[in-house]
Structure 1
C-alpha cells in the first residue's frame, strides 16, 4: 500500500503545498473545497457533492462488490495565525496559516481517494468527507445537520491527525476516550465605574474578577475526583477601563473547560456558574455566564480502534496502542457519537507544536496517513 501511494507522492505534495499557500479560515474554505471537488472528479469518483454544511465536500467510490460503507474524514480549515515557519511556500494570506496540518490531512485523503478510485480493490463503498470548520468548531455538526449521514449512512468512520513529536511512520491510538470534550465560557462581571482614587464611590469589577479567578481554581480541585481528568483555564481577562485612574464598569473573562465524562462535564458547568454568580453577588456585583459545550469527547469504539491499530501495524513497526488521552479536542467526536469508528495519530516528526506560528507539516508523513486511510477501506469494506 505504501508503495502504491508513494507512486504519486510528488503530486500529493504539490496539492498540499498549494493548500498551504492559500489557507482559508473555518467555513470560508471556498477555494479549498472547489479544488478538492475538482480533484475528486478527475480521479473518477462515482459521486462528488459540494456545499454540505457550508463548504463541506463528500465523494463516494464504489468497490468491486457488496460490502460495508466506510467513512473517511479530513478537515480543511486553517487558523488566524501569522506564519513564521520559514517554508518556501509560505501562506499568501496575511494572518492566516495552516498551523495544524489540515492542508496535510486534506492531501492525505485526496491521495487515498486517488488510489481507491483507480484500484477499486475493496468491497462496499468508500465515503470521503472533507469537513469545514474544525478549528472554530461546529463543522462536523453542520455537515450532520445538513444531512450528510442521512444521505450517506455509514457503517464505520475513521479520521486521523498529524502529531509533532511522534516519529514519521509511527501511529498512535487507543480504545475509548482519546480526546476531551471542549466547553467554552464567557463571564461578564458588571460593577460601577468611577475614579480609582475614590473606590468607595464605585463598585470595582476588577477586584471582583480577581476573587472569581481565585475561586474558580477550586472548581476542579474540590469538586472532581482526582482520578478523573478535568481542566478549567481562564484565558483572557479584559476590562473596559481606559487608564490607571479609572475603575471600569465591566470586566470580561473567557476560558475553556475540558473533561472526558458527561457527569464530570455537568458538575464543572454547574459549579462554575455557582462560583461566579456567588462570588460576584458577595461583593455587590452582577455576573452573567455564557457557557457553550463546543465539542463532545472523542471516544473510539473499542472494536474499531482494534481494527485501526491492526491496519497501522501492517504499515509500520512503530505503533502505540494505548496512547495517553489528551485534553485537546476534536469535533470528529460528532461523527463518532453517531457512527462507530476511531481516530488515529500519525507521526509528524520533531518540530514546533500544533497551533504554533513556526509549525510545519512534514510531507514525509503524507504517504503513511494516506496509506492508513485507504487500507481502512480495504480492511473494513
Structure 2
C-alpha cells in the first residue's frame, strides 16, 4: 500500500479544481500504464478517464467511480504532503478515493475477473455537479455503459473503517437557484418614476423558506445570497437577485419544489410589474441505491469483518454520483473516516491513509460478488 499512499500524497500536494484536472489525469494515466488495462478511454467528459479490465468469458459489466477534482479551499493542515497550490485543496477526500480505485486497478491487473468486465472511472467536476452529466453525455460512454455502478465516500464522524449503507435514497438531490428581478432605475428623489424590486425581494425572502412545507417528506430551502441595486445614493434600485439552495430526498419532490419557487417568484414580481428570470447551478440528482445491490455490498463488508451501520435517514448533502442511478442500477456507500476527523470541506481535513486498503478490499470483494 505504500505506493498508493505516496500517490495520494502527491495528488494531495497538487490539487486541481473542477474542469481543470489535466495534471491529475496525467498522473492517473501514468499509474495505469504498467497495469495494461484492456481498454482505455481518455478525456471522457472533459478530463475523465476510464480503464477497462476484461475477463475471458462474457458477463456483467461493473463500474467503479471516483472523482478527480479538488476544492477551491485553502489546505490548512501542516503535513509533508500539504497542498502546494494556494487556495486549493483535496478537502473532500477525492485524493483518497482515486488511490482506492488505483489500488483496485492493481488487483485486477494481477487477477482479472473470470468473466465480465470491470470499468474504473475517474470522473471530473464532481464538486460542481457538472462531471457526471458530461461523462454520461459523452458518446463514448456507450462503450462502457455498466450493468451496475458503485462508488464510496469517506465519512468523518463515523468510526474508522465502518461501512455505512442504506437502501433507496442515500443522499439528497440539490440545486443552486438564482432569481433575477429587473425593474427600472430612477432618481432616488423620484422613486415613483422607476420600478424598484426591493419589496418583491423582501417578500420572497420571507415567503420562500416556507415552501418546503408544501412538499411531501423532506425538502429544504436555504437562502444563500441577496443583492439589490448598487451603492449609489442618488439612484433607486432597478435590479435585484436572490440565490438559494434547494434540497429533497426524492427527485420528483425536488422538481416540485423548484416549480413552487418559480410560481411564487412570478406571482410576486408580476404584481409589481417586475420582470423575473431564473438561473441554475450545481445541479445534483438524488443518489438512489438499488436495493438489489445492497446484499452485494453488505456481504463484501461481512467477508472482511468490517462493522456495518444502516443509516436511518438519507444524508442531506449531495453527490454527483446520483446521476448514474438514473441510467443504471447504482449503489453509493460510506466508509467511516474517524469520529474525531475534521468534517469534509474544512481546511484541516485530510483523508486517512489507512482507509485506502479498506476501500480497495471492499471494492475487490464487490467485483467477485457482483460480476
Q: Which residue number corresponds to residue 348 of structure 1?
A: 337
Distance 1:50 1:321 in 2: 37
Q: Which moved more, 1:17-26 or 1:145-154?
A: 145-154
1:291-323 deviation per Cα after TM superposition (whole angstroms, max 9, x unaligned): 468222111110102211221222234111345
1:248-306 deviation per Cα after TM superposition (whole angstroms, max 9, x unaligned): 32122222211132432232122101111212233443322224682221111101022
Give the alignment's TM-score, normalised by structure 1. Answer: 0.91
Q: Which residue number corresponds to residue 73 of structure 2?
A: 81
Matches within 5 A, 1:227-238: 228-238=217-227
Q: Which residue number corresponds to residue 258 of structure 2?
A: 269
Distance 2:127 2:330 in 1: 21
Q: Which residue number corresponds to residue 151 of structure 1?
A: 143
Distance 1:18 1:291 in 2: 34
Q: Which residue number corresponds to residue 379 of structure 1?
A: 369
Structure 2 alignment gaps of length 5 or more: none
105, 108, 119: which one aligns with 2:100: 108
Q: Is the 8 A contact 2:249 2:314 kept in 1?
A: no
111, 123, 133: which one aligns with 2:125: 133
Distance 1:116 1:297 in 2: 30
Matches within 5 A, 1:213-362: 213-221=205-213, 223-225=214-216, 228-243=217-232, 247-291=236-280, 294-349=283-338, 350-362=340-352
10, 25, 33: which one aligns with 1:41: 33
Distance 1:94 1:244 in 2: 38
Distance 2:82 2:138 in 1: 34
Q: Is the 8 A contact 2:150 2:331 kept in 1?
A: yes
Distance 1:85 1:204, change over 3 A: farther
Cα RMSD after superposing both structures: 2.1
Once the two structures are TM-superposed, the CA of residue 32 in structure 1 deviates from its matched residue by 0.8
Once the two structures are TM-superposed, the CA of residue 206 in structure 1 deviates from its matched residue by 3.2
Distance 2:115 2:366 in 1: 11
Once the two structures are TM-superposed, the CA of residue 81 in structure 1 deviates from its matched residue by 1.2
Q: Which residue number corresponds to residue 5 of structure 1?
A: none
Q: Is the 8 A contact 1:75 1:105 kept in 2?
A: yes
Distance 1:323 1:110, change over 3 A: farther
Q: Which residue number corresponds to residue 184 of structure 2?
A: 192
Q: Is the 8 A contact 2:229 2:237 kept in 1?
A: yes
1:121-179 deviation per Cα after TM superposition (whole angstroms, max 9, x unaligned): 55322111111111111211211211344112322111111111111111101111111
SS of 1:142's equivalent in the other structure is helix
Distance 1:11 1:231, change over 3 A: same
Work out whether 1:363 is the aligned partner of 2:332. Answer: no
SS of 2:345's equivalent in the other structure is coil
Distance 2:302 2:122 in 1: 26
